[in-house]
Amino acid sequence: MDLRFWADLSVIYLIGMQLVPTILMIVVLYFIVRGVMIARRKATTGVKLAQYYVGIARTQTSRFADKAADPLVRSHAEAAR
């Protein structure tokens, strides 16, 4: 057994030591990506529903704000004449 044998053995040992955490990290990242895809798919329907109701609220708010501001605008316009 010469020095080259021990060098090869140590390289195999070092690669093996890093192979296990690397495989574990790949598995963890795979399941994280799958979880994010599932969460995004489930959240999409809720987001579309929220956008619908926010659009209704925006329209109603604009309409009632114009209705409330109209008398003030008229009075200021008449006062400016």
Q: What is the pLDDT of residue 69?
A: 85
pLDDT of 80 > 80? The answer is: no
- What's the CA gap between 14 and 8, in Å, rounded? 10
- What's the CA gap between 70 and 26, in Å, rounded? 62
Q: What is the pLDDT of residue 75?
A: 85
Q: How far is CA 11 from the centre of its chain?
A: 42
Instruction: Provide the residue count of the chain.
Output: 81
Q: What is the pLDDT of residue 47?
A: 87
> How do residues 27-43 score in pLDDT, each as one tens digit?
999 999 999 999 998 88
Of 79 and 21, the structure prediction assigns the larger pLDDT to: 21
Alpha helices in the chain (DSSP H): 3-80
Q: What is the pLDDT of residue 44?
A: 85
Q: What is the pLDDT of residue 59?
A: 94
